Amino acid sequence: MQIAIFYGSYRQDRNGIAYARYLTRAFEDYGDSVDLIDAQEVNLPMLDRMYKEYPEGSAPAAMGKVASTIRSADAFVFVAGEYNWGVQPGLKNLTDHFLEEWFWRPAAIASYSAGPFAGMRAMMHWRAILGEMGMVVTSMPLALGSVHKAFDETGAPTGDDGKRLVRNFPKFADDLRWWAEAAQAQRAKRSPPY
């Protein structure tokens, strides 16, 4: 599978980047090809024009590269931190630059926070957002609490939260891969209706 992982924190101390990198390695260990798209690195402006609103060939290069990555992916993972019971503005801004590019593929949500709720409140928002953007959202989220304590200095999972992450990842990945395979099979049989 070709998996695109999206991460959106712009904070100075980005604890969630270790989570995004762990997921990248874990999917690669499953044999998948993975692109990690970091909103801070892509650094798109606040949404003015969506990718589709630029005349062909005139969109910023970074935007075109992300559009190409999205279109070539079989499935998506959104590493979603929780900000004040809501979604990360950097990740939301990145996703809003695209629309049709997302259609007809599954998305999984890997939520996180520093507290015990593990980003679940943000995850609930993301389920609605991603569904509206044309993705099928898997039913198996991967929630990580105490993200700032869940990885050691090498990026390896540690502590109880890290152990829980390692234990729960296979079910999360299998759910996403099942839906990606189903979508591939359906596209081979019939073109999407719009």
Q: Which CATH number goes with the domain that contains 109?
A: 3.40.50.360
Sign of CA dihedral 46, 50, 56, 61: positive
Using CA atoms, how far apart are residues 179 and 111, in angstroms rounded to an integer?
A: 19
pLDDT of residue 177: 97
How many domains, the chain?
A: 1
Residue 100 lies in a domain: yes
Q: Determine the angle formed by the axes of helices 159-189 and 16-29, rounding to 10 degrees.
A: 50
Residue 96 lies in a domain: yes
pLDDT tops 90 at residue 86: no
Residue 118 has a pLDDT of 85
Give domain status of residue 75, yes or no.
Answer: yes
Tens of pLDDT, residue by residue over 6-50, are 999 998 888 899 999 999 999 999 999 999 999 999 999 999 999
| Residue among 41, 34, 44 nearest 4 (CA) | 34
3-state secondary structure the chain: CEEEEEECCCCCCCCHHHHHHHHHHHHHHCCCEEEEEEHHHHCCCCCCCCHHHCCCCCCCHHHHHHHHHHHHCCEEEEEEEEECCEECHHHHHHHHCCCHHHCCCEEEEEEECCCCCCCHHHHHHHHHHHHHCCCEECCCCEEECCHHHCECCCCCECHHHHHHHHHHHHHHHHHHHHHHHHHHHHHHHCCCCC
107 close to 183: Cβ distance less than 8 angstroms: no
How much is the pLDDT for 23?
Answer: 98
Confirm whether 123 is domain-assigned.
Answer: yes
Range of the domain at 45: 2-189
Question: Tokens for 70?
Answer: 């999205």
Q: Are 75 and 1 in contact (CB under 8 A)?
A: yes
- Report CA torsion sign: 143, 159, 22, 39: positive
- Residue pLDDT, tens place only, 105-157: 999 999 999 888 888 889 999 999 999 999 999 999 999 999 999 999 999 99
The pLDDT of residue 50: 97
Quote the CA–CA distance of 24 and 17 in Å, as a whole number: 10
* Mean pLDDT within 160-182: 97
Residue 47 lies in a domain: yes
Q: Do 156 and 139 form a contact (C-beta atoms < 8 A)? A: no
Residue 194 domain flag: no
